[in-house]
Amino acid sequence: MEEYKCTEEINKNQVRAVHDAMDVLNGKWKISIMSAICYYNKRRFSDILNDVSGISNKMLSKELKELEMNKLVSRTVVDTHPVTVVYQLTDYGNTLRTIIDNLAAWGTEHRRVITGR
């Protein structure tokens, strides 16, 4: 019976850890935004806006601020005319690269399974 409690505690910790991760990455857009930045290394705001279909300027701005607050994305203002803002994954954000790659692979396979293509 003691072994069951240990396993139950480990499972609770796993569920809590997944919940914590999803709390940071929640919503419709964050993973898509991070993947757009991830695959190009550095992206301007307008590039991300074009990469992520259906997102508004306001929502992209909000999501980027949250990703920056969680230390996943850095924002750099480049002294050009007009001023350019560039986003890139931080070293910490890059720790999600494997997850993003796996999600992309799973999404490709899922589309093939569902559509037959």
Q: What is the CATH number of the domain that holds 100?
A: 1.10.10.10
Q: Determine the pLDDT at residue 8.
A: 73
Distance of CA 79 to the CA centre of its chain: 27
- pTM (2 d.p.): 0.83
Q: Determine the pLDDT at residue 1.
A: 45
Q: Is residue 107 part of a domain?
A: yes
For the cut 60, the answer to whether the pLDDT of residue 61 exceeds it is yes
Span 53-66, mean pLDDT?
Answer: 96
Q: Is residue 19 part of a domain?
A: no
Q: Which residue from 39, 27, 20, 22 is spatially nearest to 100, judged by alpha carbons?
A: 39
Q: Is residue 96 part of a domain?
A: yes
Q: Determine the pLDDT at residue 4.
A: 52
Q: Determine the pLDDT at residue 13.
A: 86
Ramachandran assignment for 34, one of left (phi > 0), alpha (psi -120 to 50 degrees), beta (any other):
alpha
Q: Is residue 3 part of a domain?
A: no
- The C-alpha atoms of residue 46 and residue 86 are separated, in whole angstroms, by 10
Q: Which residue from 40, 33, 86 is spatially nearest to 63, judged by alpha carbons?
A: 33
Number of domains present in the structure of the chain: 1
